[in-house]
Each structure stands twice: as C-alpha cells, then as structure tokens.
Amino acid sequence: MLASIARPVEAQSDPALRIDAGLATIQQPAIGTVRGRETADAALLAAFWRRPLDRATLLASGNLTYARDSLAAVQAVAALSVPWRREPNLRTDIGGAGATFSLRSAGTGGNANAFVRQHLVRDADGGWVGGAVGRTRRDGVPSATTSADIGLWRRWRFLYGSASVAYQHSSDWLLLYTAGELDVRAETEYDLVDLQFTLQARGGPHDLTLAWTRRRVFADGPVSVPALQGSGTYQLTDRVALLASVGRQLADPMRGLPQADLAMAAVRVSLGPQPLPIMPRAVVAEATVRDAPTGEVVPPGEPVARLLEIRVEASDTARVTVAGSLSNWDPIPLRWDDGVWIARVPITAGTHRIGIRVGNGPWRAPRNLARVRDGFGGESGLLVVP
C-alpha cells in the first residue's frame, strides 16, 4: 500500500520529508440515464514523511485532490515498518489509512482501513503476504471490505520486477456500478481478483515504472477488466524532481476510491535533512550479512558467527577499495572471482558504515543500503545489524 515493489534494504532508511504538487486530468464514468464519461482538471498536493526509530521506521503520507468546485479526495496513511530481531530478512509493516471524498459519480462519504503485511527481503529477490479490512460510508450507506494479497519480486541489475495476486470481498456495490464493472445491482456483495505485473527500471535517482493489471469481478457473472499504468521520476537537482503518471486506476473498494483514467504531472521538493548529492550508479555493489558456516575461520584465525559479504561488479583491472567503520576505515582485502570483487569480514551487532571506491573516484554506498554523507563529498552505506 505504500510501495508497489518491495526494495531489498538491510538498513534503516534515512529521514525524509517530500512535498509533491501538480496538475492532472481525470476522466471518470458518469452515472445517470445514459452512461458516459466525465472529464475534470484537478490540482494535486501530497506529502510523504519518514522517520527512523531505534528498532523500526515510521512512515506517513497524505494527499489532497481538488477538482474544480468539488473536493475530490483527501487521504492519509500511516505505517510502522519493523524488522525482526533474529531474522534480518523479515520485516513487518502495520498501519492504517483514512479518506474523505466527494465524487459526483461515486457518492459522498469517507473510508477507514487497517492493514498488515509481512515481507521476506533477500539480496536479489523476495516476497510478501498481507491482508486488510476496511469500512466505507457512501451517501449514508455503510459497506465493508476485506482483502488479502501475495506477491514476489526479483531484481536483475537495474531492473526490478514483481508479480502479485490480490483478492477483495466487498459490499460497496455502488463503487463498481459507477465504474461500469457491474451493469446492474445484481448482488449486494461481490469478489475481485487482481493479477498484477510490474516492471521498473532504475538509473541512480531516476526510475520508470510500468504496471499491468487484469481484474476479474465475480458478482452475477464474471467480468474481466484490464488496466495499464506508467509512471516515472526524473531528478533535476538534489532537492527537486519531476514526476509523471498516465493510465487507468481501477476502483479500489478497500480505500473507497473509484475507477479513473488519469494523466498527471507534478514537481517533488525534498525538505528536512539535506539530501545526498545525485550520483550515477556506475559501480554495482551490495553488502549482505549472513550466518557463517560452521567452523568458518577468517584472519586473524578466530572462528566467527556472522559474516559481512561485499560484492562489487568491476573488471579485474579496476582498482577497487572497500573500507568501513568495522575496519577503522582501513582497506578490506578483496578477491576477484568471475567479474566480481568479493570481501568477506566478520561483523558484530551494531551500526556500521561501509564505503566502496573505484580508482580515485568518490566513495559510494552499496546500493542495497541507506546512503549517508561522509563529510568529504562522498557517501557511505548505513548497515544496522541486530
């Protein structure tokens, strides 16, 4: 609900505060004696806030959509993301959301829902399973919705892909009737099954995402509804980015939001802590903590329980340097193996910083760790080991 594609993160995220403002053209199904389409221009305002805690990360977001003389929607979401103490690859998200809306084609009212999602996050793949419950009051009529979803994701260098299946059972029949997914009020309750595939390409701070959804509606009889949506982010400066999105948003009974075809353009401004400078990700590096094999011994000859493995994709002629707070910033020995430089060192519980440098270039953070400034124009990766 806060992200469509899970990202492999082994460290807590940096604090963040972002404001998005933009314009959109929204086309929605019209309701009346003759069905048609209603098009409206809208102004958008959204905010996202993230704050790391000692053992969790708090996230909150809210957005306002104003369409002409009608307040189209106000939404707010708050969630707590908690990594497991003994299983660093597991993370649990729990939170709630609320909305108030005044959409002519889908009635007036509000919505509240709560959700929980369990993530498995590994180096290059992972998955999640989640569930939610929600209640909506539309034109004075209450309705309830329950949902469950399961998904998998995988990374191939700069590409991220995910596939998921979501099920919803709802009594908010008016929402689907106004979307054209139900011809008549055939049933007071209905079921939805959404199959979604998402592909995202990331280049440094920039990204391009394409999502395709096939919905099956089960009421009086099954109805199939497709949807395609594309979006992208282009970072102009350290604090300013351009956002764009176009495609179809399917009706969402859990949040009480109607179906709409939209085209949106916005400007994002990052506030709060000074963001890191934009750096192209010319070097692909990752850091992973795992249990050491039984009897594992590393210099100076002591058996260890946990190992930090750092992998840097570079040629065998490249001058690669890996260092961190766990080595007092002295270079960590590397070995080259089939296109990858590898460092393996023992690691203990606590907070560590790790940096990678190729030649005389700036220090960079492994791409799967949170980035922090190093005070010398570069960056390092922040790793929290339970």
Output the tens digit of pLDDT for each of the chain's 386 residues.
333 333 333 334 567 889 999 999 888 766 544 455 677 788 899 999 988 777 788 999 999 888 765 556 788 999 998 888 777 678 899 999 998 876 554 557 889 999 999 999 876 789 999 999 999 988 788 999 999 999 999 988 788 999 999 999 999 887 777 766 565 555 678 899 999 999 999 876 789 999 999 999 887 667 788 999 999 999 888 789 999 999 998 889 998 888 888 899 999 998 876 665 555 555 678 888 887 766 565 555 555 678 889 988 887 788 889 998 888 888 988 888 877 899 888 888 888 899 888 887 778 888 888 878 766 667 888 888 87
Query: For residue 149, what is the domain's CATH number?
Result: 2.40.160.40
Same domain? 256 vs 298: no
Number of domains observed in the structure of the chain: 2
Q: Tell me which of 271, 303, 328 is where a domain ends.
A: 271
Amino acid (one-letter) located at 352: H
Same domain? 202 vs 288: no
251 within 8 A of 181, measured Cβ to Cβ: yes
Query: For residue 320, what is the domain's CATH number?
Result: 2.60.40.10
**For residue 150, what are the contacts with CB-CB under 8 A and spacing of at least 6?**
127, 128, 129, 130, 164, 165
Same domain? 305 vs 359: yes
Same domain? 202 vs 227: yes
Same domain? 205 vs 248: yes
Same domain? 217 vs 88: yes
Backbone angles phi, psi at 367, to 5 degrees: -70, -15
In a domain, 333, yes or no: yes
Looking at residue 2, its pLDDT comes to 37
Same domain? 250 vs 294: no
Give the separation between CA 106 and CA 255, rounded to whole angstroms: 13
Give the separation between CA 118 and CA 381, rounded to whole angstroms: 25
Looking at residue 182, its pLDDT comes to 61
In a domain, 366, yes or no: yes
Looking at residue 3, its pLDDT comes to 39
Backbone angles phi, psi at 88, to 5 degrees: -65, -15
Give the separation between CA 351 and CA 348, rounded to whole angstroms: 9
Same domain? 301 vs 243: no
Angle at 262 between CA 258 and CA 265, to 5 degrees: 130
Same domain? 298 vs 248: no
3 state DSSP class of 326: helix
Q: Tell me which of 243, 271, 299 is where a domain ends.
A: 271
The whole domain housing 375 covers 284-385
Distance from chain centroid for Cα 139: 33
